[in-house]
Amino acid sequence: MRPGSVAIVGAGPGDPELITIKAMLRIQEADVILYDRLVNEELLNYAKIEALRIYCGKSPGHHSMPQETIERLMIQYAAEGHKVVRLKGGDPFVFGRGGEEALAVAEAGIPYEVIPGITSAIGAAASAGIPLTHRGLAASFAIVTGSRCHDHASPVRWDILAHSVDTIVVYMGVSQLSHIREQLLLHGKDITTPVALIENGTTSRQRTVTGTLGNIDKLAAAMKIANPALIIVGEVVKVREQLLSLEITTRSQIG
């Protein structure tokens, strides 16, 4: 029996053209693909016709397959001699549980590799015209998951984040937006701090809403912003407005 292996692959933030060449090659070679909810399913069209495709999607409050089952299937198919791809949205090691899966596979003695992908913080921000760092505005950024907002065992340290970095990027935080806003204001963040919400970043369905800590929760409700969406807090949000203004000026001059 030929040796099996596992590739834990980042599919990028949504736009299928943002996947890496190495990741695409692994998809084309795969015998089995276990893919997540936020993976653009266009990428599956590049797999072999006979490749087994297994949906492992997870949405807030609903998991189609327990994490333990996903890891067991990865190991089982690889042990049978198959080339297994674990295809994950964004980057596998950024809020993707890729580290847990790598450990499980390694402990089972299965050969594996990790192929990074463009994470949503970078991809969606760039697609919306927001640099996470910008000379004169931001020299640092942090990413955090909003799903830990009410985790009393390991709470998000908003008191530290509010002042230790210039730009804060929150994954999976739209449902906790009011709480996040309150915490940042409580710990001294100015009410006029710019905020952006990017829904379905890098895709044809992308929507971007900008405001401040003072009004972003009301704007999100009015626009019915829903997951998957990213929250960006910081002065760099202003760069988007500058770029849009320049684009309008250029178009009017050409016209």
Strands 167-171 and 141-145, bridge-based pairing? parallel
pLDDT at residue 188, rounded to an integer: 94
**Residue 58 falls in the annotated catalytic set:** yes
Residue 61 has pLDDT above 60, yes or no: no
- Selected catalytic residue, list 36, 91, 166, 217: 36
Provide mean pLDDT across the span 225-235. Answer: 96
- Selected catalytic residue, list 88, 172, 189, 217: 172
Boundaries of every domain in the chain:
5-115, 120-242
Confidence band of 118 (pLDDT split at 50, 70, 90):
very high
**Residue 36 falls in the annotated catalytic set:** yes
pLDDT at residue 233, rounded to an integer: 98
Enter the CATH code of domain 5-115.
Answer: 3.40.1010.10
Provide mean pLDDT across the span 31-58. Answer: 95
pTM greater than 0.85:
yes
- Selected catalytic residue, list 58, 65, 159, 238: 58
Nearest by Cα to 172 from 211, 134, 191, 146: 146
Instruction: Name the residue type at position 142.
Output: A
pLDDT at residue 178, rounded to an integer: 95
59 Cα distance to chain centroid: 13
* CATH architecture of the domain covering 120-242: 2-Layer Sandwich (3.30)
Give the percent of the chain with pLDDT over 90: 87
Q: What angle do CA 86, 78, 75 make, to 5 degrees?
A: 75
Calpha distance 67→173 (Å, rounded): 21
Per-residue model confidence as pLDDT tens digits over 129-179: 999 999 999 999 999 998 776 666 678 999 999 999 999 999 999 999 999
